[in-house]
Chain A
Amino acid sequence: MVNIPPVLLIAFPLLFSFLAPLVNMVSRKAVKPYTLLVLLLNAFLSVLLFLNVMENGVVYEQLSGFYPPVGILLAVGYMGAILAMLINILSPIVYLSYFGEAESSVKFSMLYMLVTASSTGIVITGDLFNMFVFFEITAVGSYALVASLRTKESFEGAFKYIVLGSIGSSFILLGIATIYGYLKTLNFYDIALRISLMPPAARLMAFIFLIIGIGVEAEIFPLNGWVPDAYQGSSNRVASFLSLGPSKAGIYALARLIFTLIPIMAGFQLALLLGIFTLVIGELAALRQKDVKRMLAYSSIGQMGLILIALSLHSETAFIAAIFLMVGHALAKALLFVGTRDYSTGFLRNPWVAGPIFIGVLSIIGMPPFPGFWGKWYLMVDMASQGMWTVILLVVFTAIVEGVYYARFLHRGMGSEVKRELTRSEIATILILAAILVLIAIFPNYLYEPAVNAASSMLGGGP
């Protein structure tokens, strides 16, 4: 097996994204295939990296010749490898849906590659400040992607995203400063080793700063005000991309914070509380939405809450649940956002669209055998073995609420009015996504075993 350096995953799309204008100068038509090719190359690299991690354990790479903790370190753990692969495989698939569009914007393609690279960067970095930088790139790129539709709504959504994103960034910076002030280090594992040297009050303060900052990107209530507007304003493929890339990177950063950086009891309790609020409020708000994209956005918030609950339980089973929920949500939500473009009502009239959308909805509601089910099942098993009946009751309640609004959604899909048919490339996208969901449903082991490794590694405080 070729041991590719993980930094290529970030460097390739970064480099090629800045070369895209050159390609555009040569031929406007070549931009889309060029971007797809770059993304596919990245997907291939991410698979190689994943296999490498599965075989040899954590892959470290130090950059620019300085040794850690001074130099920048990339540390690809099991969870990082899973998420890097998820983001990099799904991003070309979602990009594929762009092919049917008449317009071809080189700026869009550049931003898309950029955000793919920076989201990947968040999940494979081993350095707090490095993560902050990637967070900034992701955020700035996402603002522009949201605005790329150039409608009033999209500018509004992007503006809200900018305001809250900037507030979040400053909180992250404060958190980093607090930690650096005490420990003089930014390396995750160095911090983790010496976090007990920090005074407890400062440690908690750093935790508060960081959870607020990261929570904005991870769509945690009450920091997620931008989510519905940004998703509603952005085009379907951008919404789809946001829900698979940046939001998953955000939740990864949150997991990194509560498991590795500052693993304190109070942190887990706070995360549980936030998760419950995010879940209940997100799902309830989705119930009353008329706009499909807004409804899906609120549903995303609810799912994020569920993932956060799973993370906050701090047990292996629940962590596996979190991984299944993340993967299931990324796939299914990406599918639903692409599959329901332009709020048309008749999207279930075409069997090739109806099948994938049906599968996506089933996975999100948590119907077996799709990944969403395994997530909810393991979450419930873990909560049951701890006797957390109230939380189970809330999860059950929100699942029923989900059932109601997704039923309305499906019924809308049976309507006769079709505003705009999906293009062939969009249908190809949702078919591929549905096929991946089905494959995971039939062979959950290929996700389960990495998830077990990720759980034991993360719970042990490692990468």
Chain B
Amino acid sequence: MLLETFVIFMVAALGAFALNRYPRVASLVALVASLFPLFALLSWAGIMGIGVPSYLVWFKYETSLTYTLGPGVVNLAITPLGWFFLLLLASVFPLVIIFSYSFVRSNAGGFYGAMLLTMMGSFGILLARDILSFFVFWEIMSWGILALVLRGNDRKATVSYLAFGTLSAMLLLFGFMILFYKTGTFLLEDMSLEATPLTLAGISMIIAGFAVKGALMPLHVWAPHVYSKGEEPFVAFLSGGLSKLGFFGMILFMYGVAGFSLFSSWGTFRNVPLFGYALAVIGAFTAFAATILAVMQDDLRKLLAYSSIGQLGYIAIGIGIGTPLALTGALFQALNHTFFKAVLFLAAGAVYYRTGKWKISELGGLGYRMPFTFLASLFAIFALAAIPITSGFAAKWLLYEAAIEKKFLFVTPIMLIAGVGAFLYAYKILYGVFLGEPRYDVKEAPLSQLIPMWILVLPLIIFLVFPGWFVDLTAPILQSYGLTPLEHTPYVIETSLASYNTLAVIFALIGGLILAFALYFSKPQEVVPHEDNYLAGEPPELYEYISMHAASRYYEPFEDVFLPIFRRGAERAWEIILAGVEILGNGARRIYTGLVEDYSIYVLVFFLLLFGWWLLW
């Protein structure tokens, strides 16, 4: 059934493309195909130690497959790590397809076709067991995304995506070639690497290639453009699902292929390999800088884009530290981010669907008009800001503990500051978009948009109550890398510093809420119009509404401090590099003067050069 799934995806992609004129039918075709990864997950649940009743296993999937694809051999096999990441992608994918039913209007066949190809590529990546098939599927995924980026019709998004996409592909290819040169094999299992500088260069290139997809700074430049110009269901899948593939690759190659001992032989610092330490620092920097940038955005999509980049930085921190605690935290963060960012992007899409606006300063009060969208985003925002109504808190807690445990003096405070920053911009979404004066008389989002959002909220709540279940999911992954999983019960995770008890957290939260409500209702409330806070009852001119909006220059002092530092820093740097290459290009272009006499002289000079060589020889 494994091979058939790829065929189903290809046929469905072609079918959706051909059914361009009937978007409803195309979306149905896409939805049917999108369920197959879920069937595969159920069929493979055994390797994660999860018992699935046989009536749920509709299709029997092989656990490994070897297929001769022309000159190469494709080796596919399911691993615990692959299963975990497939869980993230496969659960988001059908939901964004459902969301697209009402959202994607123009040229829908192309949209579904490209989405299906992207998912097919991802499916292959998660199963690939040799570098050839990994690369092939990686690029199928990448160019599926390219087709979707092109639909956004934004020059910067297209150029930066394809430029960084090729950079990533070439880094991966270069790194794979070094591994192949060193080991003489394509198979991941057979690779036994020695600690040489060349191997280090290869591994670094591979990790850098993955960092492009995971949008770690300074390789993130493409992400804000792409995230803010694509269609929301695609962006939700890109940020929620596809960006995780970069971290899947990192874990696979750092811990599955290279291994701890190899990294340790390149130097350690407090028992953490220097390589991992560097990755953690990059992750922390990304988390910090992207959070600051997110706080300063007024465009809802840009804000979510930078927020995505920042949250993904946390995953890199966890992978870099590499202890069982940190890896569990990183995977937990990956899971949370998948669901809450998908909800937020979809909610942004729903808001746009109803109002046609992206700017936070032009929105407001939608919580009264779109209460279900509001509530779903509220949960997502809690997860994002690590407030313990959702599992977002547990993930960050584990990461903090992991960093403290290893005494990361630089990384830990930055993570904490970035955590507060996340709260700042989360509040901006909450208040700027959903609270305040209602400004649009719109209806609630359609059901096809609400259902996916609410399904995506569920895991956030489930894993808050039962974080132990999540640790169960990570146990086979850690074991496959020779690490001992964390000790836990369904409610309590034992760590070396302390134990994380979710019940205690929930009770503390409920107690705090009761206290807050008690204080709030202890005095009689007086409702005043929104403007009175600013104008003391003076009726404002119409245009002043804009400047009065809560989200307009919301964090002005903050921006005054940070804007000069962060203004398009990395993007400037890349633009300078591109400008340098373009100067080279101009030089090359000048060789072709367009004058035939020059060209003849080139031939002559070339002949004379060769003649001189002949004389000397």
- A interface residues, Cβ below 8 angstroms from B: 159-160, 163-164, 167-168, 171, 201, 204-205, 208, 211-212, 216, 222-223, 225-226, 228-229, 266, 270, 280-282, 284-289, 320, 348, 351, 354-355, 358, 362, 365, 367-369, 373-374, 376-378, 380-381, 383-385, 387, 392-393, 396, 399-404, 406-408, 410-411, 414, 443-445, 447-448
Contact = CB atoms under 8 A, between A and B. Distances in A.
29 contacts: A163-B600, A164-B596, A201-B614, A201-B617, A222-B602, A222-B606, A225-B599, A228-B592, A270-B610, A281-B588, A284-B584, A284-B589, A285-B588, A286-B585, A287-B585, A348-B150, A367-B140, A367-B143, A369-B140, A374-B70, A399-B166, A399-B169, A400-B170, A407-B159, A410-B158, A410-B162, A414-B150, A414-B158, A443-B70
B174 interface: yes
Contacts of A384: 177-178, 180-181
Interface string B149-168: 01001010011011101110
B173 interface: yes
Contacts of B142: 367
Chain B interface extent, by class: 35 or more
B65 interface: no
A455 to B, nearest CB: 12
B454 to A, nearest CB: 34
A365 B162 CA distance: 10
B177 A229 contact: no
A285 B70 contact: no
B225 to A, nearest CB: 12
A204 B177 contact: no
Nearest to A288: B585
Give the most central of A222, A282, A374: most B CB within 10 Å.
A222
Give the most central of A287, A351, A368: most B CB within 10 Å.
A368
B261 interface: no
A212 B135 CA distance: 38
Interface in B595-613: 596, 598-600, 602-603, 605-607, 610-611
B159 A448 contact: no
Give the most central of B70, B107, B110, B602: most A CB within 10 Å.
B70
Secondary structure at chain B's binding surface: helix, strand, loop or mixed?
helix
A204 B614 CA distance: 7
B602 A403 contact: no
A225 B598 contact: yes
Interface string B25-69: 000000000000000000000000000000000000000000011
Contacts of B181: 384-385, 387
Interface string B236-256: 000000000000000000000
Given A225-B598, A285-B591, A392-B174, A404 B163 contact: yes
Contacts of B586: 288
Contact of B110 (A286, A351, A410): A351
A377 B598 contact: no
Give the most central of A159, A225, A282, A351: most B CB within 10 Å.
A225
Given A167-B603, A222-B603, A284-B587, A444 B69 contact: yes
A383 B176 CA distance: 12
Nearest to B18: A351
Given A351-B17, A407-B162, A407-B163, A284 B178 contact: no
B132 interface: yes
B150 A392 contact: no
B71 A445 contact: yes
A289 B589 contact: yes
A104 B583 CA distance: 44
Contact of A369 (B136, B174, B610): B136
B585 to A, nearest CB: 4
Contacts of B139: 367-368, 373
Nearest to B586: A288
A448 B617 contact: no
A444 B71 contact: yes
A281 B70 contact: no
A445 B70 contact: yes
Contacts, number: 181
A266 B617 CA distance: 10
B166 A365 contact: yes
Those 8 A-B pairs whose CB atoms lie nearest each other, nearest first: A225-B599, A444-B70, A403-B166, A407-B162, A384-B177, A287-B585, A284-B588, A285-B588
B578 interface: yes
A365 B71 CA distance: 20
Contacts of B140: 367-369
Contact of A411 (B17, B107, B150, B581): B150
A377 B132 contact: yes
A462 to B, nearest CB: 22
Contact of B599 (A160, A400, A408): A160
Contact of A368 (B107, B136, B582, B611): B136
Contact of B606 (A201, A212, A377, A396): A212
A213 B494 CA distance: 76
A149 B178 CA distance: 49
A285 B158 contact: no
B79 interface: no
Nearest to A223: B603
Nearest to A451: B71
B109 interface: yes
Nearest to A443: B70
B617 A164 contact: no
A358 B147 contact: yes
Contacts of B328: none
Contacts of A204: 614, 617
A358 B71 CA distance: 24
Contact of A408 (B159, B173, B581, B596): B159
A283 to B, nearest CB: 8
A155 to B, nearest CB: 12
B607 A208 contact: yes
B307 interface: no
A160 to B, nearest CB: 4
A269 to B, nearest CB: 11
Nearest to A355: B17
Contacts of B174: 380, 392-393, 396
Given A367-B143, A448-B70, A399 B170 contact: yes
A355 B70 CA distance: 24
Given A289-B589, A348-B150, A351-B109, A362 B614 contact: no
Contacts of A164: 596, 599-600, 603
Given A212-B603, A396-B171, 20 more contacts: A164-B603, A171-B607, A204-B617, A205-B614, A208-B607, A208-B610, A208-B614, A351-B20, A358-B147, A368-B139, A368-B140, A400-B166, A404-B159, A404-B581, A406-B162, A407-B162, A408-B155, A411-B155, A443-B70, A445-B68
